[in-house]
Chains A and B, each alone.
Chain A
Amino acid sequence: MSAAPAVYVVDDDPGSRRATGHLLRAAGFGVHLHDGGAALLAALPADAAGCVVMDLDMPGMDGLAVQAALAEAGQRMPVVFLTGRGDIPSSVRAMRAGAEDFLEKTASPDLLLAAVRRALARDAEARAGRAGQAAARARLARLSAREQEVLAQLVQGVRNKQIAGALGIGERTVKLHRSAITAKLQVRSLAELLDLVRLADAPPPGAFPKGN
């Protein structure tokens, strides 16, 4: 794999596709050109990294349909849409569906480069976030069933005595479980523990950052 971040260009118009490719290559990105959604989906590795620059108005499968198909296939790369028509209804739908950006085909190349950089940054960030979450979940998975029950009460701010009552165990036992949790998760304070749980429980970042 090359070090340059990958940009997948999807455009049915050869002139437009090649121009976008030239620009992105000259700006130092690793460019992959595809003439339609089907070609893109067939070529992508699982959970590909990078971003997609895609024509909105393509015959057959249009940009919005390709975007939906990408999500379906578990591809979470941000999408920058280009359009030659710029009609409002499709742009609204695209943004709703989580498009990173929406540009006119005649827009300044600087804008396109900026949008691509933003999209790549977001992808990297989301990817890092997803990696952190996976690690947090793996740490939590090391706890025993009883310890997880205790943790669930703790996160909600329940006191030891009440936890003991709720679980039908002694207060001392609760304290033992607490220190075992702290040791297994390698956290130094309650605040750190809460952050870890929140990270693991959060919805996976990157796929629909703005939709909610």
Chain B
Amino acid sequence: MDWVTFVWASMAATCLTLALVQFLVWYRDRAAQASLWFAVAAVAVAAIAAGELRLMRSATPAEFGLVQRWTHVPVGVALVALAWFVHQYLGTGRRWLLWTLTAGRGLVLGLNFASPTSVNFQAVTELRGYPLLGQLVSVPVGEPSPWAGVAAASSVLVAVFVTDAAVAAWRRASGRDRERAVLLGAAVVAAILLPTANGLLVHLGFWSAPYFIAVAFMAVVLAMAYELSRDLLQVASLARDLRTSQARLDLAGRAANVGLFTWDVGADRLWATAEGQRLLGLAGPGPFALGDVLATIDAQDRPGFEALLGDVRAGGGDFSCQYRVAGAGAGTVTFWRGVRGQAERGPGGGVQLVRGVVLDITERRRAECEREALREELVHAGRVTMLGQLVATLTHDLSQPLGAIRRNAEAAGLLLGAPATDPGELREIVADIRRDGARAAAVVTRLRALMLRRPMQAREIDVTALVAEVMALLQSEADRRRVRLEAVVPAGLPALRGDPVHLQQVLVNLVMNAFDALEGRADRRVTVAVGEQGGEVELAVLDTGPGVPDWLAERVFEPFFTTRPDGMGMGLAICRTLVDAHGGRIRVDRSVDGGAAIRVVLPVAMPS
């Protein structure tokens, strides 16, 4: 075999090998479009090398012309594919220029096939021998085509595009990426301009030489190969870094009791760090699926967890939840886990991957529970203290119906002993006893609800009924203190969500405070006014007392703040705690009469 054949065949083989590698890269990762374009360009260069070899071996001018005509196909493909490759690889370049050069090259191909011989020659008149690598190869002499300039201009347009894209990439990038832009840009521009100039000189008859297009393109292919090798090296070093950072992550996770996990939604494959496996209750070597975690969740929390998962899969985004670990049985410690994560969408738009952390929040939950119990105790103590202040009135409200029942029963006894008794009178007495019994029972029920100590229970609350209950409880206290107590409740109020006992406690407390503020004043009025605005309900307690000075408006809600010598100063602090727990606000300002106005604003219940 001669050297020319060897060198050109080797170039073609190299190009095909690299094309195969890049094609496989694209095949595995469809997002790597640069690899596809490179593979196309490399195949085209291999075809050019084959074409050039045939040209150099041509025996007649006619044969040369025919081969040249067809070699324009891979040349065009190579130029356009390179431009697209540069565009994808560097992520720069003007799109309109790219489409222009693509169309331009199409035009050149059209002209090529429209010409008698090729876009380069009208006709190849003779072949000359040219010494290359110890052999004589054929080089053309002929009549230049009028379109030869168009072909050259189209190639120059590709070079312009690449130069522009490389400069843009160089400007934007830094360090290693700048180097890459320069290397690639220079190699591509040189690979285009040098054979173009050479070809133009040959076609115009200034010069006699083979084309060397494949040789020039080899520079690009090799530059790419060099880049590729660097990428491979980088991948290896990244893998090493990844292992190190994985080890660090594990260490940090263990130290902070944080576990990391990733869940491949499509394959239902769950990966977790060592700590993550421990916290998620994953035993054994794996691989794990989501079901393994679900099995460790306490039955009370599992439906909630599954509902959350459904939301995450449907909606993506961030999520967080807490759950109890299915326990060994009653009497053992309940372990709590907190999960916080993020769902990532795949190219198809669906959630593909869920990443997150899992924490042991048992201690935190226990502290929260204790705090909650203390708060509950305080709130209850506040309620009992408040009822203590109402003892005289509550006694009155109970003794009224009880006394009536005793007198009615005695009257009935007397009537039954009498000779002539009117049954109508007896019926009336019995009806009265029933009514008074119900009245006493209502007082006791109201009292018991307030006396009981129980955790907050949220449910829908009818504001009108709530205010009516408070009025029923406090009306005779108002009478005793000679205060005019009124409620202004508009019709059609939306429901609130919360614990009615707690909201009653707030209102009773506020009204009692208002009573205290009226002590010794001539005009004694308290109004409970309800209003609705923008998804919120305002419960205002207004009095005709001296009012709260502005500089005390915030302080009155602090614990132990009191103006009474016998006061504990917990009433309003508890009110604020309760209002906060209902997602509301409480504040003090002035009523129209110059007295105090305490306003409690609560969010309206969401219609379920």
A residues lining the B interface (CB < 8 Å): 13, 15-16, 18-20, 22-23, 25-27, 57, 59, 82, 84-87, 104-110, 112
Contact = CB atoms under 8 A, between A and B. Distances in A.
Contacts of B479: 57, 59
A134 to B, nearest CB: 37
A15 B395 CA distance: 16
Nearest to B410: A109
B274 interface: no
Nearest to A17: B404
Interface in B389-424: 392-393, 395-397, 399-412, 414-415, 418
A109 B407 contact: yes
Nearest to B433: A19
B264 interface: no
Given A85-B392, A85-B395, A85-B480, A105 B403 contact: yes
B439 interface: yes
B298 interface: no
B418 A104 contact: no
Nearest to B401: A15
Contacts of B418: 26
B406 A84 contact: no
Contacts of A26: 410-412, 414-415, 418, 425
Contacts of A13: 400, 404
B432 A105 contact: no
Given A22-B425, A23-B410, A84-B395, A15 B432 contact: yes
A27 B409 CA distance: 12
B360 interface: no
Contacts of A108: 406
Contacts of B415: 26
A15 B406 contact: no
A106 B572 CA distance: 36
Contacts of B392: 85, 87
A23 B408 contact: yes
A173 B403 CA distance: 70
B429 interface: yes
A87 B480 CA distance: 11
Interface string B422-443: 0001001100100110010000
Specify which of A13, A84, A104, A110 lies most central, judged by the most chain B CB atoms within 10 Å of its CB: A84
B411 A19 contact: yes
Contacts of A57: 396, 476, 479-480
B480 A16 contact: no
Given A23-B408, A27-B414, A84 B432 contact: no
27 contacts: A15-B400, A15-B439, A19-B403, A19-B406, A19-B411, A19-B436, A20-B404, A22-B407, A22-B411, A22-B428, A23-B408, A23-B414, A26-B410, A26-B411, A26-B412, A26-B418, A26-B425, A57-B396, A84-B395, A84-B399, A85-B392, A87-B392, A105-B403, A106-B399, A108-B406, A109-B407, A112-B407
A22 B403 contact: no
B404 A19 contact: yes
B403 A16 contact: yes
Contact of A15 (B410, B435, B476): B435
A38 B418 CA distance: 35
Nearest to A62: B482
Contacts of A112: 407
Contacts, number: 91
B403 A106 contact: yes
B396 A23 contact: no
A59 B524 CA distance: 13
Nearest to A59: B479
A26 B479 CA distance: 31
Nearest to B416: A26
Contacts of A25: 411, 425
Pairs of residues from A and B, 4 with the lowest C-beta to C-beta distance, nearest first: A105-B403, A109-B410, A19-B404, A84-B396
Given A15-B439, A22-B429, A84-B395, A104 B403 contact: yes
A22 B406 contact: no
Interface string B375-397: 00000000000000000110111
Contact of A105 (B399, B429, B439, B482): B399
A105 B411 CA distance: 15
B432 A18 contact: yes
Contact of B403 (A27, A84, A110): A84
Nearest to A109: B410
B501 to A, nearest CB: 26
A54 to B, nearest CB: 14
A6 B307 CA distance: 76
A85 B476 CA distance: 11
A112 B410 CA distance: 11
B396 A15 contact: no
Contacts of B396: 57, 84-85
A104 to B, nearest CB: 7
Contacts of A23: 407-408, 410-411, 414
Interface string B468-485: 000000001001101000
A91 B476 CA distance: 19
Given A19-B407, A57-B480, 10 more contacts: A18-B404, A18-B408, A26-B410, A57-B476, A59-B479, A87-B392, A105-B400, A106-B402, A106-B403, A112-B407
A104 B399 contact: yes
B411 A106 contact: no
Contacts of B405: 19
A124 to B, nearest CB: 22
Contacts of A22: 407-408, 411-412, 425, 428-429, 432
A167 B317 CA distance: 123
Nearest to B415: A26
Contacts of A59: 479, 482
A106 B440 CA distance: 12
Which among B396, B415, B418, B436 has the greatest number of chain A C-beta atoms within 10 A?
Answer: B396
Contacts of A85: 392-393, 395-396, 480
Contacts of A19: 403-408, 411, 432, 436
A18 B435 CA distance: 12
B406 A109 contact: yes
A60 B242 CA distance: 86
A112 B404 CA distance: 12
B410 to A, nearest CB: 3
Nearest to A24: B411
A107 B406 CA distance: 8
Contacts of B400: 13, 15-16, 84, 105
A111 to B, nearest CB: 10
A26 B421 CA distance: 9
A82 B400 CA distance: 10
Contacts of B393: 85
Nearest to B484: A59
A104 B397 CA distance: 13
Contacts of B397: 84
A18 B479 CA distance: 21
B49 to A, nearest CB: 113
Most interface-central of A22, A85, A109 (chain B CB within 10 A): A22
A6 to B, nearest CB: 18
